[in-house]
Amino acid sequence: MYIAIEGIDTAGKSTQITALQSHFPHAIITKEPGGTPIGKEIRGMVLSAKAQSKKAEFLLFLADRAEHVKEIIEPNKNKIIISDRSAVSGVAYALIQGEIETKDLLALNNFATNGIYPEKVFLLRLTKEELDYRLSQKELDAIELRGSEYLLKIQDALVEAAKLLNLTLIEIDATQSRKEITEQILQNI
């Protein structure tokens, strides 16, 4: 089973993946972008915000996604795969940019993924207040520097992206305790 943990920065994706690892010790744990050696380089490029073109940024994400599917997802399709982000994030960020038509977003993602998507997507949803607090507690990367309003638009776009990709999306209130969030994920796997 291929599942993805989605959410905006600081939502607790890494924390939940660590918790799930204790329940599924043989699971393949991965992330997008950056789950492969090439993906790590692409992730560095994207987070450094060197790309001036939003289309270039999107294409970098697609390159990572294609490599991720070929190197991690396809060879392990008979195992439990838990991914920190997925195509849902890529589509959501592109929707916010508004430079690529929806039909092209879907076609390009289908091309990059060979039509392979998570069976279930868990969205850890934050309130504006909680997001502002969490951002104030850390050094911000290029995406986080765009601000909480931008990140909250991404959060809404994650829901829209899952619908466009026709994926099962389970929304979880990320302001709950870590244990409560983990329990809700486990109940839905």
Which tops the pLDDT comparison, 142 or 101?
Answer: 101
pTM of the predicted model as reported, rounded to 2 decimal places: 0.91
Indicate the SS3 state at residue 11: coil
Mention every residue, 6+ apart, whose C-beta is less than 8 A from residue 111.
62, 66
Residue 110 belongs to what domain range?
Answer: 2-188
Nearest to 55 by CA among 100, 92, 112, 96: 100
When mean pLDDT is compared across 43-47, 133-137, 145-149, 168-172, the lowest value belongs to 43-47
Instruction: Tally the domains of the chain.
Output: 1
pLDDT digits (tens, 9 = 90+) for 54-108: 888 888 889 999 999 999 999 999 999 999 999 999 999 899 988 899 999 999 9
Q: Is 168 left (phi over 0), alpha (psi -120 to 50) or beta?
A: beta
pLDDT band of residue 145 (cuts 50, 70, 90) is confident
Phi and psi, residue 141, nearest 5°: -90, 180
pLDDT digits (tens, 9 = 90+) for 10-64: 999 999 999 999 999 999 999 998 999 998 998 888 777 677 788 888 888 899 9
CATH number reported for the structural domain that contains residue 83 in this entry: 3.40.50.300
